[in-house]
Amino acid sequence: MPKPHIDQWDARAAAWHTRVEKMGVDRAIFHKKHKTPAQLAWITRVQQEAIWPHLVAALDGTEQRALDFGCGMGRWTPALADLVGYALGVDPTPELLTYAETHRPVGGSGVLEYAPYVRGRIPADDQWFDVLWVCMVLSTVLDDAMFHTTLEELRRVLRPGALIVLTDNTSREDGRPIRSGDSMSRTVKEYRQAFAWADLRRVGQYIDWHEINTVFVGRVRA
């Protein structure tokens, strides 16, 4: 499959800049129907209860470095750093990274860093991370070539045996993806096929505005 041209990466980054500019930092990373602070707090609590326990239960004690891919405003990165010792949050949107940097908690026990995700490149060495956390991000990668290139890059930076915790929209309507200008659903089967180099399994789900979001956990095959 042909790789995306640089212009495609830049266009996607520009689209996220426009979304943040229009909706604000706090609302841009959520479903458009979440509009009030109370709704944003509610869905964050739902996600914490539906996803985080699966991460904690899957750790085997060897993990030291976590990647928060598509970290947005840094909702999860500090907790990942405290949990395993180090976390890097990457995102293509400068406004979100700035918010994450300026709102980092004081007194955390782990090492926390943020960096830009530019033109499909994660700023890390090969096989650097023990944990991948990706929450409601891959559904925003609409182009098939960009999607597969993104997965190749994730595979590059994960060591064999690295833990993956993936959450995303798996809803379908009449067998077709739920799609907007910002995101699209994929099936459980499609995610498991895309991550053929890992043993992803479905461990839970939650509903957000009548849409199904599935939680996957697995490890990179040796």
Asked if residue 212 is part of any domain, the answer here is: yes
Q: Are 180 and 2 in contact (CB under 8 A)?
A: no
The β-bridge relationship of strands 172-173 and 176-177 is antiparallel
The predicted pLDDT at position 138 comes to: 96
The predicted pLDDT at position 4 comes to: 86
In which domain, by residue range, is 89 found? 6-219
Q: What is the CATH number of the domain that holds 36?
A: 3.40.50.150
The predicted pLDDT at position 29 comes to: 85
C-alpha 100/C-alpha 107 separation (Å) is: 15
The predicted pLDDT at position 166 comes to: 98
Question: Looking at the 3D structure of the chain, how many domains does it have?
Answer: 1
Running along the chain, 222 residues long, what does each successive block of 10 average in pLDDT?
82 88 88 88 94 97 96 96 97 95 89 96 97 96 93 97 97 74 88 95 93 96 91
Query: If we measure between CA atoms, which residue out of 148, 144, 150 comes closest to residue 117?
Result: 150
The predicted pLDDT at position 202 comes to: 96
Q: How many CB atoms lie within 10 A of CB 106?
A: 4
The predicted pLDDT at position 218 comes to: 97
The predicted pLDDT at position 151 comes to: 97
For residue 13, give the amino acid letter. Answer: A
Asked if residue 186 is part of any domain, the answer here is: yes
C-alpha 23/C-alpha 1 separation (Å) is: 34
Asked if residue 164 is part of any domain, the answer here is: yes
Asked if residue 1 is part of any domain, the answer here is: no
Asked if residue 54 is part of any domain, the answer here is: yes
Q: Is the dihedral of CA 115, 119, 122, 124 positive or negative?
A: negative
